[in-house]
């Protein structure tokens, strides 16, 4: 630990990781912590002050009339029969929750399959929670719309691949979940034919009034013998996308968020908009982009249908695949 001056006072800095896991990025010192608070790779810690939250809540939404009058909703396809399939596939469960099957193992990302506190779920599930039975959970960060207590109660026996300092939180929700923590650029020891690597994101953590950025956040890369899948979690736009693209020399499929971006003065540091998602794809050197994090919950000022419409208007030559909730995307790039 080192001491340094910050804003006219002494601050403590240290770097941590999971000492039992390899770091795949040469020269990376570990995750920076200043006065017990995790930091983003580029720039200050994310998150919003109480004053900013109140300013947003009491500010006029210039798109309110459009939101009230729109009739946008995401369709849902029943996908229960998919659970018996042997293919490698990606299937959208809604918001940032995906069912990914590789090498016969079922992976659920950012499990939130009910309604988190104070937020109404706008779409039904394509598969009942109790039928999914994942082998692995990949949890990018601790926000309620990405880590839902009610959902985790159904997933005892799964192995959770999680950020640093999250195990205590998971165990409190469901002691039957096995927890494996990693820092950025560390590869989990999951003893499978596929690899899972924890990577940076530009975001923040908070679940209550006194745990601000005490738990890390990030993104994931799943690498099989034939393909690579990047799951971004939540993120503002930052150079970490370019770092990841350069480190891996390109990614086959990237699942990136495109919504919860308005107003920009409030959301920019936390969530990319469709234009920034397209730039992130270029940075990551992505072959196929699958958008997420829209239409399931109403989390911000923009109309529900705007992220999809904006992305379709700007996608250009980038290969973008919009999936219906419950639709299966085979990892050989065909859709059923």
Alpha-carbon distances of 30 from 61, 142, 161, 246, rounded to whole Å:
40, 20, 18, 19
Q: How many domains would you assign to the chain?
A: 1
Question: What are the φ/ψ torsions at residue 133 (nearest 5 degrees)?
Answer: 50, 65
Omega cis (within 30) before 263: yes
CB 97 within 8 A of CB 112: yes
Residue 114, domain member (yes or no): yes
Q: Write down the pLDDT at residue 332.
A: 78
Q: Concatenate the DSSP letters of all residues of 166-184 into one string.
A: -HHHHHHH-TTSEEEEE-T
CATH number of the structural domain spanning residue 12: 3.60.15.10
Residue 335, domain member (yes or no): no
Measured from the Cβ of residue 307, the count of other Cβ atoms closer than 10 Å reads 24
**What value does the mean pLDDT of the chain take?**
95
Q: Write down the pLDDT at residue 17.
A: 98
The pLDDT tens digits for 115-143 are: 999 999 999 999 999 999 999 999 999 99
Structure-block tokens of residue 120: 């109404």
Identify each DSSP E strand in the chain by its residue range.
2-6, 9-16, 31-34, 37-38, 89-94, 97-102, 105-109, 136-138, 159-163, 178-182, 186-187, 195-199, 219-223, 228-231, 251-257, 286-292, 328-330
Residue 139, domain member (yes or no): yes
Q: Write down the pLDDT at residue 333.
A: 60
From the number of C-beta atoms within 10 Å of its C-beta (0-12, 13-18, 19+), residue 60 rates as exposed
Question: What are the φ/ψ torsions at residue 25 (nearest 5 degrees)?
Answer: -105, 115
Q: Write down the pLDDT at residue 2.
A: 85
CB 292 within 8 A of CB 92: yes
Residue 336, domain member (yes or no): no
DSSP single-letter state for residue 41: S
Measured from the Cβ of residue 120, the count of other Cβ atoms closer than 10 Å reads 8
Reported as half-sphere exposure (CB side, CA atoms, 13 A), residue 313 has a value of 8
Residue 262, domain member (yes or no): yes
In terms of residue numbers, what domain contains 175? 2-330
Low-confidence ranges of the chain (pLDDT < 50): 334-336
pTM: 0.96
């Amino acid at each position: 630990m080192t001491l340094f001056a910050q804003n006219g006072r002494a601050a403590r800095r240290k770097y941590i990781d999971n000492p039992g896991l390899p770091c795949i990025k040469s020269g990376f010192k570990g995750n920076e912590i200043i006065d017990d608070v995790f930091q983003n790779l580029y720039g200050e810690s994310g998150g919003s002050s109480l004053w900013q939250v109140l300013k947003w809540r009491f500010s006029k939404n210039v798109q309110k009339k459009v939101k009230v009058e729109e009739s946008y909703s995401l369709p849902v396809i029943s996908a229960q029969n998919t659970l018996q399939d042997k293919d490698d596939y990606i299937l959208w469960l809604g918001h940032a929750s995906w069912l990914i099957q590789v090498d016969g193992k079922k992976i659920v990302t950012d499990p939130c399959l009910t309604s988190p506190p104070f937020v109404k779920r706008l779409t039904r599930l394509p598969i009942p929670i109790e039928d999914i039975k994942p082998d692995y959970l990949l949890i990018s960060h601790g926000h309620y719309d990405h880590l839902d207590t009610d959902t985790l109660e159904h997933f005892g026996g799964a192995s959770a691949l999680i950020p640093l300092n999250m195990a205590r939180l998971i165990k409190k929700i469901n002691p039957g979940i096995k927890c494996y923590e990693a820092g950025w650029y560390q590869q989990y020891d999951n003893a499978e034919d596929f690899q899972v690597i924890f990577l940076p994101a530009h975001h923040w953590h908070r679940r209550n009034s006194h745990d601000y950025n005490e738990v890390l956040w990030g993104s994931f890369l799943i690498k099989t013998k034939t393909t690579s899948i990047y799951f971004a979690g939540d993120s503002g736009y930052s150079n970490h996308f370019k770092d990841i693209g350069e480190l891996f020399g390109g990614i086959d499929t990237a699942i990136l968020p495109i919504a919860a971006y308005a107003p920009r003065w409030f959301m920019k540091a936390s969530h990319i908009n469709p234009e920034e998602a397209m730039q992130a794809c270029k940075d990551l050197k992505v072959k196929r982009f699958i958008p997420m994090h829209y239409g399931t919950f109403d989390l911000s000022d923009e109309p529900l249908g705007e992220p999809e419409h904006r992305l379709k208007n700007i996608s250009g030559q980038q290969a973008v695949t919009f999936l219906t909730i419950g639709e299966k995307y085979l990892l050989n790039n065909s859709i059923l």
